[in-house]
Structure 1
């Protein structure tokens, strides 16, 4: 009589399980005193990406500048600074026959914002050009000197 192959396999597996018991894996806490570090070199900066980034950031700076000038103008106007300056100039010049001096006739919000916008457009062009030139100069100096060495480390969480 032949032994049952299924029963034989189960008996062999049971004997094997008795002899070999899996040990639970050891989980050691990470060593907090040792932090992984990597030393890298920035040997090239892409001038095209520097130009695009500088352009967008300088446009944002221009928008912030125009908004800031508008807010400062409105705050000074609400505080009565321009009326006070106009009265002071009228008192000093003493030209009542020509009418009172009004500062906003010479320096109005629209003129100030126009001048600010012109300055911002020039700034956008200059900042973009200077940043791109700096990227080219960095690439030139990095090819000669090896670039900027950066050490990166993991966080200690």
Structure 2
């Protein structure tokens, strides 16, 4: 049986029921209940049903939408993690220690201030810019990879999987 579900095409076959020999009186030899058809009684399956599928094509539009949503989630996590990391570093006094070290190493006459370069607004702006670039790049990369998979799957037949129902 061949089918198409969304953008996935595949084939599946129903499990073949095993038969048991029928004894006298039209009943199975090892069971006392009558079977559904005279002369043949179904035997319960021994294990889970297996279906072999092949992913031969992936819809690029759906991959692009999913990649965009996942990359937006990653971008939000990036900005939040940057804010948390900067807050922890600042509360530990790391920036003050670095400023003290730089002042001791260079001297008092220089007007070098570490906080000019790592102030909160600047760091969050940089993290936001990196996150936006990642959204664009990850979305484009996932879509391009989908097109490459479809071309490759057309040549070699796609990825074959066996699914079971446990």
For the aligned pair, the TM-score class normalised by the smaller chain equals 0.7 to 0.9
Moved over 2 A (4+): 23-26
TM score, norm. by length of structure 2: 0.70
TM score, norm. by length of structure 1: 0.74
Contact between 1:38 and 1:152, CA under 8 Å: does it hold in 2?
yes
Q: 2 CA distance for matches of 1:126 and 1:87?
A: 40
Q: 2 CA distance for matches of 1:24 and 1:77?
A: 79
Q: 2 CA distance for matches of 1:74 and 1:91?
A: 25
**Partner residue of 1:63?**
76
Q: 2 CA distance for matches of 1:140 and 1:105?
A: 51
* Unaligned 5+ runs, structure 2: 1-31, 36-43
Q: 2 CA distance for matches of 1:94 and 1:126?
A: 44
Residue 98 (structure 1) shift: 5.2
**Partner residue of 2:59?**
46
Aligned pairs, how many?
127
SS in structure 1 at match of 2:58: coil
Aligned partner of 1:89 among 102, 106, 110: 102
* Unaligned 5+ runs, structure 1: 1-22
- Greater CA radius of gyration, 1 or 2? 1
CA RMSD of aligned residues (A): 2.1
Residue 102 (structure 1) shift: 3.2
1:8-47 alignment runs, 5 A limit: 34-47=47-60
Residue 152 (structure 1) shift: 0.6
Contact between 1:83 and 1:102, CA under 8 Å: does it hold in 2?
no
**Partner residue of 1:4?**
none
Contact between 1:55 and 1:127, CA under 8 Å: does it hold in 2?
yes
Which structure shows the higher helix fraction?
Answer: 1
- Which deviations, in whole Å up to 9, do the C-alpha atoms of 1:36-77 show, x marking residues without a partner? 111100011000000000011001000000000110000011
**Partner residue of 1:124?**
135
Q: 1 CA distance for matches of 2:110 and 2:148?
A: 59
Which structure shows the higher strand fraction?
Answer: 2
2:121 maps to 1:110: yes
